Structure 1
């Protein structure tokens, strides 16, 4: 097959994928109707995890597991949004690690609202202004996040899932050599996460 033949083949496959996505979305709408009638929650993390595990086990390549996970996260998110729009609040501002964790958990089809504090995240969920809240519980450098633990004890909100997020920080400077850097400005949490590297 030549270049044009392969492009035609890809077009055919894309059309098949779109047809199957449409069928999946229609099935999700039917499930959404059943959930509403039975007053069942829209978000079923155990079912979504089961789907992802099954597909990851069935994947024989050449796409890596991370690619399959990313694609399916968005398919699940889009289908869930057909059932109902979920509002997720997280410790902000936008683009924080907590925001990243929220999007990794719920996909891009949700409504995301940053909160100014962990206490505000809990308040938004407790008052029904958000279906879910995403807060840090612990990290490898600073240990447990006490405000979160205190609120979990005092709140009626319950943990419905957890996500482990690998953190990477970048140092930005106009200096051409690290030895020229004399002062580093950052959020206290980021400085704490990087203190060993900064001290070296």
Structure 2
């Protein structure tokens, strides 16, 4: 019995140490905010991704990686909220709660979530200032009324895709809508393992095989074709939503080469977002389980 009591005392001591470190981390963040001044950028998705990847890489033992990430997401989001206003507009029509659950998992219990019944309403909430960030469903190839063309032109063109959710396993969502994109007026930042989202406007339709050939010749790797809609001009025009590996800029050499390869078929190529590649928790948990057994 004394052995069990000793173990409980040890657990209490560890809990006190964890709490003391959280208090210390909070104080450091407050010093950082003071040093940067009132106009500093306090939302840093790239920095957040780097923190989580580092922790996942060094993790060991039987404690699930997914739970580890959830703990740190609470810490990160709460301390971000302490540095400045942070509210999230979430596409949540009717009883569709999947994206709400994913957003709550990512941003934690302290950050305010605003349910919005329409996709364009999420974008409008950002442009009007009632939200800093929006969470929208992952585009589908044949969906009606896609939201992403709004990032190419108009008053929402300054909004960018800055994240993919979930960054880890989806957890206990209550509907089939589990994949989302994070949008904001923040400028995307590179993390070293990223995806870039482009809107490619062509004079006419082009097969995926042909597009893959163009991108491969330009040393660009297509990771997903996410959508296609008619262009704003003739009936033949097409606007494609394509995800590429890496952090690429519109004026960078890779995308410039894509435009040259397409030639007169390319009306425009716009980078409408970039984000950290999500952590593959299933693989990391398998690795830690194997290490624990061996």
Shorter-chain TM-score above 0.5: yes
Q: In 1, are the aligned partners of 2:96 and 2:175 still within 8 Å (CA)?
A: no
Q: Distance in 1 between matches of 2:175 and 2:131?
A: 29
Q: In 1, are the aligned partners of 2:90 and 2:116 still within 8 Å (CA)?
A: yes
* Residue correspondence of structure 1 range 141-160 to structure 2 within 5 A: 146-154=145-153, 155=156, 156-160=158-162
Indicate how the Cα distance of structure 1 residues 124 and 51 shifts in structure 2: closer, same or farther if over 3 A, else same: same
* Unaligned residue ranges in structure 2 (runs of 5+): 177-294
- Which structure is higher in helix share? 1
1:117 Cα offset (Å): 0.6
Q: Distance in 1 between matches of 2:47 and 2:144?
A: 29
Residue of structure 2 equivalent to 1:78 = 78
Q: Distance in 2 between matches of 1:152 and 1:28?
A: 33
Q: In 2, are the aligned partners of 1:137 and 1:144 still within 8 Å (CA)?
A: no
Indicate how the Cα distance of structure 1 residues 35 and 132 shifts in structure 2: closer, same or farther if over 3 A, else same: farther
Relative contact order (C-alpha < 8 Å, sep 6+): which is higher?
2
1:2 Cα offset (Å): 1.5
1:64 Cα offset (Å): 1.8
Indicate how the Cα distance of structure 1 residues 144 and 23 shifts in structure 2: closer, same or farther if over 3 A, else same: farther
* Residue correspondence of structure 1 range 10-159 to structure 2 within 5 A: 10-37=11-38, 39-93=39-93, 96-139=97-140, 146-154=145-153, 155=156, 156-159=158-161
| C-alpha RMSD of matched pairs (Å) | 2.4
Deviation beyond 6 Å, 4+ runs, structure 1: none
Q: Distance in 2 between matches of 1:22 and 1:131?
A: 26
Report the more deviating stretch, 159-168 or 2-11. Answer: 159-168
Q: In 2, are the aligned partners of 1:89 and 1:113 still within 8 Å (CA)?
A: yes
- Which structure is higher in strand share? 2
Q: Partner of 1:159: helix, strand, or coil? A: strand
* Unaligned residue ranges in structure 1 (runs of 5+): 171-200
Q: Partner of 1:135: helix, strand, or coil? A: strand
Indicate how the Cα distance of structure 1 residues 160 and 35 shifts in structure 2: closer, same or farther if over 3 A, else same: farther
Indicate how the Cα distance of structure 1 residues 36 and 158 shifts in structure 2: closer, same or farther if over 3 A, else same: farther
